[in-house]
Chain A
Amino acid sequence: MELFIQRCFDGMFNGAIYASLALAIVMIFRATGLLNFAQGEMGLLGGYVTLTLLTPPGATGVGVAVAGTEFASRWIPFHPWPPWLAIVGAMAVGALLGAAIERFIMRSLAGKSALSQVNVTIGLLVLLNGIVFQIWGPFARRLDSPFPSGKDDYFALFGARLRYTTVGVWAVLLVAIVLLGLLIQHTKTGLAFRAVTSNREGAALVGVPVNRTLTIGWAIAAAIGAMAASLIGGARALDPLTMLNLLIYALAAATIGGLDSPKGAVVGGLIVALTQSLVPPYLGVPTELTLLPPLGAMVLALALRPHGLFGTVPVNRV
């Protein structure tokens, strides 16, 4: 029983990460109908910015200095920053990146086929991954965590260990959801965002600045990605392939929950993470294959309920 609870707790951490990425994917999908394969890599770049912001210059763990730290220590005041500030800084950089991607790439895609959209987001995935690889190299790096993450930093609950990191990540996720909810329900930008989401042409006709609203949407999505990457880097490590695997979990989460449902993203994130942490030990799936249960869950969801648990079923007119 303790073991079961422990596995649930372990799954909870992943669940929060998947949920936040899935949330960003859902946001873009609702606004533009585009499945953003580059969501993970937009975050990856942000995660590495966090790394540069919080690492003092000089050689570290792997014997190679973190790229950009020399520059940062000279030009950025108070560098190295504490983890919290570094993550916020990286989210700002991520937001700029997201806005630039929308402004210079995605905007010219409006009205193009689904194929073109996949091409571009896949191109972005490969491009951003290549940029990160080029700048920071292939090393796995551990980031300083914003939460106390020593050996004894856990709550003992039902004989299992609920780590502060897990609680912290969920707290951050909930704060993010509440902030996002406030933004979307109670601000003018949020109203514009809802208008663009429900009817783009209609919104444009009544004077909603569609392009600017989409730019903000992409900025927020990229910032959420940067946050998720920084948190995962603080709990485990960050290497150029980290987000590629996370992406498939997040996509699975979004698909299971329904691609246009924020609630579905969070529930889907939890489902995927718990499938991943509970199914392998009990069904005897070897640890190398933890990718398979979530993937199986996604295929199953697609076959049985193509529009997810909470998604709206579209009506096709010809």
Chain B
Amino acid sequence: MTAPSKLRTPELPLESPTMNQRTKVALGVLFVAVLIPPFVTTSLELTKLSRIIVLVLAVLGVNLLTGYTGLISLGHGVFVGVGSFAMANLIDQGLPLVLAGVGATILTGFIGLLLGLPALRVKGLYLALVTFGTALAFPPLARRLGKLTGGVTGRTVDNDAFAPPGFLGLDDQVHVWRYGICLVVAALWFFVIRNLVNSRMGRALRTVRDNEAAAATFGVSVAQTKAGALAISAAMTGTAGALQSLLNPYISHADFDAFLSLRLYAAAVIGGLGTLAGAIYGVGALILVPAINGALNLLDSDAVVFGGGLIVMTLIAPAGIAGLASRDDPGKSAHR
């Protein structure tokens, strides 16, 4: 074993870029853009859009763990599943929407921590291994726990609990209400994560990713940092699951198979690891590819495109679409 030839993962951003003029404009445009759909789309389209937002949240969870902390997770589909089922069961207990969502989030974070603890003792690839195994084991396990998950046939989520409050006047437009919830929750998480990655903890995450020994030398507790990142990442993905059960009141173990985890991972990588915008780009690819494929009727499954995309992006653009998008930014070096 020779000394490591490099001290950091060179292809991922070290600094979280400061917010430049372009980012501000993009955020403004995004803010206006998300307000338009409720007025111009059908309820079906709006629900689809809400699902996309939920996916972005889940991919951001993968990104926090893999992109910022360097812990490879191939099992985030499990956290989506745990969040969904937890939400459904907490609703059963008669908890109000917000409390059930928070409960599902915390529970999923806790389970993420529990799953990761043994694997945190060892490095890199092993967490990928354990999480991948978990992703494969989750559907049969969920099928077995019939009381919580409805077993083979799946279960429904009590939809009435999601009714919009009367004063909004949205009684006959539930989809708008749900879209709003997804939007606000996702925005909240983005805000939290943006602040997190620019804080002491965020710098600790990136240092742990790039050189554990150096991180430890600078007084960063490597194990604590990893465990914290894992818990937050799982919790965020759990929120995504909770929102998904809100959008799709029928959930079953088959929705959360290993390929969901792999797709989330592929989206995180293709979009761009280690940047917040990467999650949005990645889900864009996750949505656009099947849409184009379906329109042109090319392939039976999108797997070929995702697998190929993952390989091509890793080889030619390791920083993902976000990296490509910022490459032609003339002001970038000045803002560093």
**Do residues B124 and A315 form an inter-chain contact, with CB atoms below 8 A?**
no
User: Pick the contact of A126 from B125, B140, B262, B315 — CB < 8 Å?
Assistant: B262
Residues of A within 8 A of B (CB): 35, 37, 105, 108-109, 111-116, 118-120, 122-131, 133-134, 137, 201, 244-245, 248, 251-252, 255, 286, 288-289, 291-292, 295, 298-300, 302-303, 306, 314-318
Cβ-closest chain B residue relative to A299:
B118
Binds A, one of B24-32, B48-56, B226-234, B297-305: B297-305
Q: A119-B314, A123-B311 are contacts. A314–B72 as well, Cβ < 8 Å?
A: no
**Can you name the residue of chain B whose Cβ is closest to the Cβ of A132?**
B303
* Contact status A126-B5, CB under 8 Å: no
Contact count band on B: 35 or more
Cα distance A128–B72 in the bound complex, in angstroms? 21
Interface-central residue, B10, B126, B141, B302, by most chain A CB under 10 Å: B126
Interface 9-residue window, one of B14-22, B131-139, B157-165: B131-139
Contacts of B107 in A (CB 8 A): none
Which of chain B's residues has its CB closest to A127's CB?
B307
> Quick check: B136 and A115 within 8 Å, CB to CB?
no
Q: Is the interface of B mostly helix, strand, loop or mixed?
A: helix
Partner of B141, one of A111, A201, A252, A292: A292
Residues of B within 8 A of A318 (CB): 3-4, 213
CA–CA, A112 to B269, complex, Å? 15
Q: Judging by beta carbons under 8 Å apart, are B136 and A255 in contact?
A: no
B141–A120 touching, CB < 8 Å: no
Could you tell me the distance between the alpha carbons of A251 and B304 in the complex, rounded to whole angstroms? 24
Give me the interface of B with A, judged by CB distance under 8 Å: 1-5, 9-12, 66, 70, 72, 74, 118-119, 121-122, 124-126, 128-130, 132-134, 136-137, 140-141, 143-144, 213, 258-259, 262, 265-266, 269, 273, 299-311, 313-315, 318
Which chain A positions have C-beta within 8 A of B318?
112, 116
- With a CB–CB cut-off of 8 A, which chain A residues contact B265? 122
| Distance (whole angstroms) from the CB of B87 to the closest CB of chain A | 24
Which of A118, A122, A303, A317 has a CB less than 8 Å from the CB of B1? Answer: A317
Contact at B129–A126, with CB atoms within 8 Å? no
Task: Give the docked Cα–Cα distance between A105 and B299 (Å).
Answer: 23
Closest-CB distance, A29 to chain B (whole angstroms): 9
Query: Which of chain A's residues have a CB closer than 8 A to the CB of B125?
Result: 35, 114, 118
B325 CB, min distance to chain A CBs, angstroms:
19
B311 touches A302 (CB 8 A): no
